[in-house]
Amino acid sequence: KVPIFCPAITDGSMGFQLYMFQQDNPEFIVDVVKDFSNILFSVSQDDKKGIISLGGSISKHHAILAGVLNGGMDYAIYMTTARPTSGSMSGATTNEAKSWGKVKDDSDVVTVVGDVTINFPLMMTAALEKLSREGLIDE
């Protein structure tokens, strides 16, 4: 079983629809604080921790903050079009993450600035080809 979280479920029209539904169904509860807690501590049982962040915003923030409470991520790949010069967390680099303990100082990290819809499939194709050549996976 793989837990699925949607940290921004109350953002925009989805949040409005949830609100309207709850008016007629008060027993229906979406607890975003409990979800946040589950996200933060869902990684704590793994020996090695890593993140592949596609884009930025709230999902990246939630996932990388889990590293702060769990000794830091061992690996991090950020793929984004956001730049650090904007001052937003979406543009924060993996080096910034090291300064906060979100990733370990000796961790393998990279920030790729570019279109995720192009770069991620290329990265995955290259990684799968390498794993196949090394006999670690079947084609």
Greatest alpha-carbon pair distance for the chain in Å reads 57
Annotated catalytic residue, options 48, 102, 104, 130? 102
Total residue length of the chain: 139
Structure tokens at 138: 């079947």
- Told to judge if 102 belongs to the known catalytic residues of this protein, a careful annotator would answer yes
Q: What is the DSSP letter of 84?
A: G
Q: Which residues pair with 54 in a beta bridge?
A: 79
Question: Locate tokens 């990290």: which residue?
Answer: 109
d(C-alpha 79, C-alpha 84), whole Å: 13
The candidate with the shortest Cα–Cα distance to 99, out of 119, 84, 82, is: 84
Q: CA torsion sign, 125 to 130 to 133 to 137?
A: negative
List active site positions. Answer: 102
